[in-house]
């Protein structure tokens, strides 16, 4: 994983490297969001200032945030590097940095976990082929225990103090920004970064770990609302529902529901790229929303992921309900009004798919890997036609294995049943694609990463996971070949 992140390529620029590193960080947090939500619900309900204060159940809050959540992040980071063996060694080492500090050690877990797994991976490669037959299990278990134990001691003695200082410095910096009322200006950077598919990297790689630390100290954090709150993008989608044109207007209501209630931000990106000036609407909506939260002490107890309005309300602590709701509504209204003004004066009139397709082309250009991706797609397109006798397991793959890929899998599953085709269609993160998969469907910007994960496997690239016309083509080909 480290090699993939920092591997030098002629056509890889700094932006793409940041994207890869961001995905690496978010890959440690995203699979454990359920645990963060569980902790957030318990915190919101049972702490002394919660909705239903309970002295006994509130004892769950501190051990969960200090031990369970950092261990999960560390294990996941290690697992992403070197499977279960890497995860176990990572958890051992991370326990040392947890015990060596008095604060929740998320930053330490995100560094120590993957590093420990990388070290055990290098050790295994060093002794590969040198272990006598029959002693493999003994060597594997003792090496994991010894190396893990050494790393735990080092993390306890050195890592704890070092990461405590780093964490303290970051906390002071973030708090200074909040105290100076400058946090709303972060929307100027966050809104454009979202359409570059940096949303998970920003939120789960940076804001969530710092927000959890802040929530542990104060009972809530405004950092959970900077990127995850979907009010501004929902306002833009609502404007498309009323003032859009052609295919954009017809598809906007479904996209609005998915973005607003489902919390899947990715469905919004192509609509903004159809008319990039709409970024202004998202920025102004975000600034307005965060200004309300900042001035009147808004905050959430945990990250609402996905960014659904339902989870937003569920993660709202008792004392912040009014300000959170007002800020959310203000952000959505401002974004809607600005987007409506822009759309009314927009010149795009195409009634077909060209505008959305062009928007996806813009997304590819902005992300930077156009030449690589096109070459991989061309290579995949030369493969033999699809046969239902050979295709039994189909996987939709994206960064997190949730959200957009889950929606695509649901759409295709329904169409498969209607067509009478007996195939398993599931969704997974790219890092979790199994080796026995027969066909992978992914966004075309992710084709290269999928081909690296499962070389030789058939890949179908799509511009939009909600574009069911692509799935109709797949089903028609499968049915033709079966006949």
Nearest Cα neighbor of 240 from 325, 354, 348 is: 348
3-state secondary structure at position 403: coil
- Among the listed residues 398, 412, 439, 457, the single catalytic one is 398
Pair 113, 94: CB distance under 8 Å: yes
Would you place residue 355 in the very low, low, confident or very high pLDDT band (cuts 50, 70, 90)? Answer: low
Query: What are the tokens at 36?
Result: 């963060």
Rounded to two decimals, the pTM is 0.66
Would you place residue 466 in the very low, low, confident or very high pLDDT band (cuts 50, 70, 90)? Answer: low
Q: How far apart are CA 302 and CA 242, in angstroms?
A: 33
pLDDT of residue 353: 46
Would you place residue 79 in the very low, low, confident or very high pLDDT band (cuts 50, 70, 90)? Answer: very high
Pick the CATH number of 369-482 from 3.40.50.2300, 1.10.240.10, 3.40.1160.10, 3.40.640.10: 3.40.50.2300
pLDDT of residue 389: 62
398 is catalytic: yes
pLDDT of residue 303: 85
Whether 336 shows a pLDDT value over 80: the answer reads yes
Domain boundaries defined on the chain? 2-181, 185-355, 369-482
Whether 430 shows a pLDDT value over 90: the answer reads no
pLDDT of residue 419: 81
Whether 148 shows a pLDDT value over 90: the answer reads yes
Would you place residue 415 in the very low, low, confident or very high pLDDT band (cuts 50, 70, 90)? Answer: confident
Q: What is the DSSP string of 2-56?
A: HHHHH---TT--HHHHHHHHHHHHHHHHGGGHHHHHHHHHHHHHHSTTSSS--TT
Mean pLDDT of 194-220: 77
pLDDT tens digits for range 251-265: 788 888 888 888 777
Q: How far apart are CA 414 and CA 111, in angstroms?
A: 42
pLDDT of residue 335: 95
Q: How far apart are CA 110 and CA 80, in angstroms?
A: 12
Average model confidence (pLDDT) across the chain = 80
Pair 196, 13: CB distance under 8 Å: no
Mean pLDDT of 436-461: 82
Mean pLDDT of 323-331: 95
Q: How far apart are CA 234 and CA 260, in angstroms?
A: 6
pLDDT tens digits for range 3-55: 444 444 444 455 556 666 667 777 788 788 888 889 888 988 888 878 889 98
pLDDT of residue 57: 92
Would you place residue 200 in the very low, low, confident or very high pLDDT band (cuts 50, 70, 90)? Answer: low
The highest-confidence range among 5-14, 65-74, 372-381, by mean pLDDT, is 65-74
Mean pLDDT of 117-139: 86
């Amino acid at each position: 994983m480290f090699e993939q992140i920092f591997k030098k390529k002629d056509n890889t620029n700094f932006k793409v490297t940041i994207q890869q590193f961001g995905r690496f960080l978010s890959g440690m947090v995203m699979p454990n969001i359920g645990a963060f939500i569980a902790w957030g619900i318990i915190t919101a309900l049972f702490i002394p200032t919660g909705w239903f204060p309970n002295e006994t159940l509130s004892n769950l809050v501190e051990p969960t945030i200090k031990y369970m959540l950092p261990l999960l992040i560390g294990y996941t980071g290690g697992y992403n590097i070197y499977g279960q063996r890497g995860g176990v060694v990572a958890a051992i080492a991370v326990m040392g940095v947890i015990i060596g500090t008095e604060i929740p050690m998320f930053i330490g877990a995100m560094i120590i976990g993957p590093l420990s797994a990388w070290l055990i991976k290098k050790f295994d490669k060093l002794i590969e082929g040198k272990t006598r037959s029959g002693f493999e299990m003994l060597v594997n278990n003792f090496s994991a225990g010894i190396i893990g134990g050494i790393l735990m001691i080092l993390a306890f003695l050195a890592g704890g103090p070092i990461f405590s200082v780093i964490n303290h410095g970051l906390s002071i910096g973030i708090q200074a920004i909040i105290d100076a009322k400058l946090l709303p200006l972060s929307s100027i950077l966050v809104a454009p970064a979202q359409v570059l598919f940096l949303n998970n990297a920003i939120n789960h790689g940076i804001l969530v770990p710092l927000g959890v630390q802040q929530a542990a100290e104060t009972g809530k954090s405004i950092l959970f609302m900077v990127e995850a709150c979907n009010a501004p993008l929902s306002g833009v989608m609502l404007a498309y529902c009323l003032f859009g044109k052609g295919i954009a207007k017809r598809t906007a209501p479904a996209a609005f529901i998915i973005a607003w209630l489902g919390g899947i931000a990715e469905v919004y990106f192509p609509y903004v790229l159809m008319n990039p000036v709409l970024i202004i609407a998202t920025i102004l909506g975000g600034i307005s929303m965060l200004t309300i939260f900042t001035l009147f002490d808004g905050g959430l107890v945990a990250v609402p992921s996905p960014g659904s309005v339902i989870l937003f309300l569920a993660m709202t602590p008792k004392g912040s309900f009014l300000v959170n709701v007002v800020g959310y509504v203000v952000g959505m209204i401002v974004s809607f009004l600005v987007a409506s003004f822009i759309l009314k004066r927009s010149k795009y009139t195409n009634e077909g798919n060209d505008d959305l397709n062009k928007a996806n082309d813009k997304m590819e250009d902005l992300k930077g890997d156009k030449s690589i991706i096109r070459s991989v797609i061309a290579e995949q397109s030369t493969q033999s036609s699809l046969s239902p006798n050979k295709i039994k397991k189909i996987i939709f793959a994206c960064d997190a294995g949730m959200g957009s890929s889950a929606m695509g899998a649901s759409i295709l599953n329904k169409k498969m049943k209607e067509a009478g085709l007996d195939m398993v269609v599931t969704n997974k993160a790219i890092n979790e694609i199994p080796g026995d998969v027969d066909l992978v469907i992914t966004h075309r910007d992710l084709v290269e990463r999928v081909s690296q994960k499962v070389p030789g496997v058939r890949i179908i690239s799509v511009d939009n996971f909600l574009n069911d016309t692509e799935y109709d083509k797949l089903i028609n080909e499968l049915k033709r070949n079966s006949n």
